[in-house]
């Protein structure tokens, strides 16, 4: 596996070049001595597979179903329909989602929580097996440990879990995982501080390199939380800063861009801002940010929904796909795919079929939005309800 050391030669212009040098080309300026500009190559024996996996997940009309909520968060969902937060209830709900007939037409991957599949006994009838065996989708596990306070910051957090990540990733690969997710958060009302942004970007880049080294396509997710009363321009400014740092460190870690997927927040005004933005405005700002910061080598942009209503999340995605993009622009929603399903199910076995149908309705709506062909006509009132929760933890 070849890797390259980079040397910064002009801090103010932020330009980077490789360290080894060729002989000076004729006519090259003294300020820019000719040097070998090497392309970072990483991911070694897995590189072809990583590229293929990323392309499969980011295939036309398909996106990701995220069901990697912590048990505590899943418990809050269950409580909203009057169910206790017990293992059988969580398992029944997740089974319902993953065994929906025909889901694979619109869903290319599912993100599961690491803890879903810890014991061998559970593995036998696990969601994991449902994913892998039914060829519903490629399955993935969340492999981080969690957010904890970041000392020295402005009440911000950082994401733990790099220790031992290589061996865990290798184990997940053996079990059938082909991609992974690492979510860290950035809070606009808290600053964000330069320290928190740097820590988030560095952690994501280390995780991405380790994942690729073990055959897993990393989903890179610095979630910029919706919390705050700031205007959309402020979100754009922060998102540009965050993604520029993320890509800076991804490059420093020699991550293969063709073998990653991104999971950004859409660029919207803060949830408490006095004015709401239209899907067209959100699409314009979000695509502006992506075009400025994300190289076209990246195959897929799989948005999180972040507390938007199901319909909002779908409309915004649709607006972003009205003209061709250099990347597959799609979804990796949790709340915006699950809300109506949960309300339809209510924990009753006789409602499972109807709940699965409602999941298919949402998955198909987002599939159409990925193709830029969605219309919100006939959407239910439930699907229009916002799901923003202040200080949301996943
Ligand atoms: P939401 O779509 O509910 O914001 O979930 C995002 C997420 O990070 C899931 O992986």
Q: What is the pLDDT of residue 12?
A: 33
Give, in order, the Cα–Cα distances in Å from 179 to each of 138, 175, 208, 288, 332. Answer: 8, 12, 10, 27, 13
Q: Which of 156, 199, 221, 312 is catalytic?
A: 221
Ligand 1, atom nearest to 338 Cα: 3
Q: How far is the CA of 34 from the centre of ligand 1 (A)?
A: 46
- pLDDT for res 176: 80
Would you call 174 a catalytic residue per the annotation? no
How do residues 195-239 score in pLDDT, each as one tens digit? 999 999 999 999 999 999 999 999 999 999 999 999 999 999 999
Distance 334 CA to ligand 1 centre (A): 5
Ligand 1 centre distance from Cα of residue 308 (Å):
10
* Ligand 1 atom nearest 336 alpha carbon: 2
- State which ligand 1 atom lies nearest to the alpha carbon of 142: 10
Contacts of 96 (CB under 8 A, 6+ apart): 341, 345, 352, 355, 356
Question: Alpha-carbon distance 295 to 274, whole Å?
Answer: 34
| Ligand 1 pocket, mutate which of 303, 333, 338, 388 (most atoms under 8 A from CB) | 333
Which residue, 4, 91, 84, 80, is CA-closest to 40? Answer: 4
Tell me whether residue 275 is one of the annotated catalytic residues.
no
Tokens of 174: 């053996």
DSSP SS3 for 382: helix
Would you say 379 and 74 are in contact if contact means Cβ atoms under 8 Å apart?
no
Q: Is the backbone of residue 159 left (phi > 0), alpha (psi -120 to 50) or beta?
A: beta
Q: How far apart are CA 247 and CA 335, in angstroms?
A: 27
Contacts 24+ apart (CB under 8 A), 288-296: 288/236, 289/236, 289/239, 289/240, 289/243, 290/264, 290/325, 290/327, 291/326, 292/240, 293/239, 293/240, 293/243, 293/244, 293/247, 294/243, 294/247, 294/262, 294/327, 295/247, 295/257, 296/326, 296/327
Residues in the chain: 394
Structural domains of the chain, ranges and CATH numbers in brackets: 46-376 (3.20.20.70)
Has residue 72 got a pLDDT over 80? yes
- Catalytic-labelled residue, pool 181, 223, 245, 263: 263
pLDDT tens, residue by residue, 269-291: 999 999 999 999 999 999 999 99
Provide residues with CB under 6 Å of ligand 1. Answer: 66, 68, 111, 181, 183, 221, 304-306, 332-336, 394
> In this structure, which residue's CA is closest to atom 10 in ligand 1?
66
pTM over 0.75: yes
Ligand 1: nearest atom to the Cα of 263: 8
What is the band of 126 on the pLDDT scale with cuts at 50, 70, 90? low
Query: Pick the residue with more confidence: 382 or 75?
Result: 75
d(CA 89, CA 383): 23
């Amino acid at each position: 596996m070849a890797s390259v050391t980079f040397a910064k030669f002009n801090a103010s212009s932020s330009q980077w070049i490789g360290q080894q040098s060729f002989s000076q080309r004729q006519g090259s300026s003294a300020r820019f001595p000719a040097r070998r500009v090497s392309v970072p190559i990483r991911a070694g024996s897995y590189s072809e597979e990583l590229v293929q996996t990323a392309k499969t997940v980011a295939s036309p009309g398909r996106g990701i179903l995220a069901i990697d909520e912590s048990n505590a968060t899943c418990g809050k969902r269950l409580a909203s329909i009057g169910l206790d937060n017990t293992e059988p209830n969580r398992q029944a709900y997740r089974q319902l989602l993953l065994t929906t007939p025909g889901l694979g037409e619109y869903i290319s991957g599912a993100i599961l929580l690491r803890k879903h599949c810890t014991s061998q006994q559970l593995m036998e009838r696990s969601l994991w097996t449902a994913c892998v065996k039914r060829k519903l989708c490629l399955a993935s596990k969340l492999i981080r440990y969690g957010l904890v306070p970041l000392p020295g910051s402005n009440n911000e957090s950082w994401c733990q879990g790099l220790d031992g990540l290589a061996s865990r990733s290798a184990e997940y690969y053996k079990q059938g995982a082909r991609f992974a997710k690492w979510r860290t958060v950035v809070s606009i009302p808290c600053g964000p501080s330069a320290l928190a942004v740097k820590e988030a970007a560095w952690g994501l880049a280390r995780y991405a390199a380790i994942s690729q080294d073990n055959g897993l396509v990393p989903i890179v997710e610095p979630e910029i939380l919706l919390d705050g009363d700031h205007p959309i321009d402020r979100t754009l400014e922060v998102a540009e800063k965050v993604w520029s740092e993320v890509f800076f460190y991804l490059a420093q870690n020699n991550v293969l861009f063709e073998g990653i997927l991104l999971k950004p927040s859409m660029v919207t005004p803060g949830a408490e801002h006095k004015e709401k933005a239209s899907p067209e405005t959100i699409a314009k700002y979000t695509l502006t940010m992506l075009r400025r910061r994300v190289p076209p080598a990246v195959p897929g942009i799989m948005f999180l929904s972040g507390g938007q209503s199901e319909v909002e999340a779908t409309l915004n995605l649709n607006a972003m796909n009205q003209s061709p993009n250099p990347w597959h622009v799609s979804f990796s929603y949790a709340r915006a795919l699950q809300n109506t399903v949960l309300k339809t199910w209510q924990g009753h076995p006789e409602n499972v079929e109807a709940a699965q149908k409602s999941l298919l309705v949402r998955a198909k709506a987002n599939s159409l939005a990925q193709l830029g062909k969605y219309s919100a006509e006939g959407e239910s009132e439930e699907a229009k309800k916002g799901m923003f929760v202040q200080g949301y933890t996943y």
